[in-house]
Structure 1
Amino acid sequence: MKHFFCTEGEAALAELLRRQPLLAFDFDGTLAPIVARPEDARVAPAVSRRLARLAERWPVAVVTGRQLADVRERLGFAPGCIVGNHGAESLADPAAAERLARALDGARALLGAHEAALAAAGVTLEDKGQSLALHYRLARDRDRARAEIDALLARLGPELKVFGGKLVCNLMAATAPDKAGAVQALVTAAGAGGALFAGDDVNDEPVFAAAPPHWLTLKVGRDDPASRARFLLDSPAEMPMLLDRILALADAAG
């Protein structure tokens, strides 16, 4: 996996832009840097200004693990679409979102009953409606925190799915769509000729793996050499450079 800023990356971007693509981005670790307290995350003005300009020309979407209501105020611009909860929460189908939230009621009760023990281990339970997140970034003993989480999650049935993240465990209904399905649905709805998708975490890998060859997928960070993305960026700090390159190619094409 090569760094995006190379001859191949530039050529791939130029080719994709000729197809009038969807431009889609994860939030945490991609548009905004990872922070110790999730409530402190924001898109930097330098990034939001560029995204606002791009949204005037192409469909721009944010596809995030956060709730829609949570992420919207953190962007600093208005994308054409936001999909939350790892692909499970969309304004286009609120009834489906409600069903997926109710599917977690049993897990919600189990984790709520053990919230004190989780807190003692440094684990914070976040209920996002269509998903539950168990954060242990701030735990003093992360091994102990993960053991507490795993012991509880082992009591849940196959109707639920668990996947990791950066010092977080996520829990959703097994039938919930993932980010790959969400991005493909956005491409179809926009009538786009492809997609650029940038993400940094394991829940972005389904998009990378399912992307057709002409899509441009970008892994933010070097923590996973096995990532299925076509190219990488070193960190969210390179996002303004990527957006500037897209804008420059757009200006050159008139």
Structure 2
Amino acid sequence: MRHLFSSEGEAALVAALQYQPLLAFDFDGTLAPIVPRPDDARVSLAVAGRLSQLMRWLPVAIVTGRQVDDVRERLGFVPSYIVGNHGAEDEADPAVAQALSEALESARDLLAQREPVLRAAGVSVEDKQQSIALHYRLARDRDRARQVIDEVLQGVGPALTIFGGKLVVNLTPADAPDKAHAVRSLVARSGAGGALFAGDDLNDEPVFATAPPHWLTIKIGREPPQSRASFFLENPAEMALLLERILAMLPGRISR
């Protein structure tokens, strides 16, 4: 990966904007910094203000692991689209969202049975309907907490998918749409000619790995070095600067 604030990155940004792209962003670790308590996460006024301005020219989407209703109040602006639960919760298709929630009933039963063991290890269970997150950021012994999670989830069948994140383990139905599916669907729905997508975690990698050549993909942070994103930003603090650069490029370049 190369830093987006480079001559190559500047050229890629200019090229991507020629396609009048959907601007799509993860939330935690991308638009908002990771914080010890997820309930404290918010988009800064600078980032929210720039995203609101950008919507005069381009569609803006939030594609997050959080529930739609959870993230909506944390943004400080109203985006064109929000897709939650790692791509599985799309307000445009409530029937699919309901079916995916029902597919997690066996996992809910298992986690309820093992709740005392998980709680003793410092693991908190967050049921987001279309996915379930097992958080261990606040555990005293994170290695032990992750071991307990792995032991508990050995009872999960093949109908469910398990994937990690930043001090969290996620469960989704195996046939649930992922973020790559979500972004492709939003590009088609919005009529955009492509996408600029920024994310920071493992659940963003499907977008990076499957993006067409004219999309611009941005990893927040340098790790892991094997990320399939085209460029990186050092941290969420650089997001406001990126959005400012996009705004500066738009007048005279894009007409709607």
CA distance in 1, matches of 2:54, 2:191: 17
Q: Structure 1, residues 127-175: CA drift from partner, whole Å, max 9, x if none?
A: 0000000000010111110111001111111000000000000000000
Counterpart in the other structure of 2:220: 220
CA apart distance, 1:56: 1.5
Length, aligned pairs only? 254
Counterpart in the other structure of 1:52: 52
Q: Aligned-pair RMSD on alpha carbons?
A: 0.8
1:173 equivalenced with 2:173 (yes/no)? yes
Q: Where in structure 1 do 4 or more consecutive aligned residues deviate above 4 Å?
A: none
SS in 2 for 1:62: strand
CA apart distance, 1:80: 0.2
CA distance in 2, matches of 1:180, 1:67: 17
CA distance in 2, matches of 1:251, 1:56: 11
Contact 2:18 2:253 in 1 (8 A): no
Counterpart in the other structure of 1:234: 234
CA distance in 2, matches of 1:238, 1:228: 20
Counterpart of 2:85, as a letter, is N
Counterpart in the other structure of 1:88: 88
Counterpart of 2:112, as a letter, is G
CA apart distance, 1:199: 0.1
CA distance in 1, matches of 2:253, 2:214: 19
SS in 2 for 1:83: strand
Comparing 168-177 and 106-115, the one that deviates more = 106-115
CA apart distance, 1:208: 0.1
Counterpart in the other structure of 1:66: 66
SS in 2 for 1:197: strand
SS in 2 for 1:251: coil
Counterpart in the other structure of 2:9: 9
CA apart distance, 1:252: 4.9
CA apart distance, 1:194: 0.5
Identity of aligned residues (%): 66
CA apart distance, 1:253: 2.8
TM-score, normalised with respect to structure 2: 0.98
Contact 2:26 2:64 in 1 (8 A): yes
CA apart distance, 1:15: 1.1
- List runs of 5+ in structure 2 lacking aligned partners: none
SS in 1 for 2:250: helix
TM-score, normalised with respect to structure 1: 0.99
CA distance in 2, matches of 1:143, 1:67: 27
Q: Structure 1, residues 27-86: CA drift from partner, whole Å, max 9, x if none?
A: 000000000011110000010000000112100000000000100000000000000000
Q: Structure 1, residues 201-237: CA drift from partner, whole Å, max 9, x if none?
A: 0000000000001100000011210000000000000
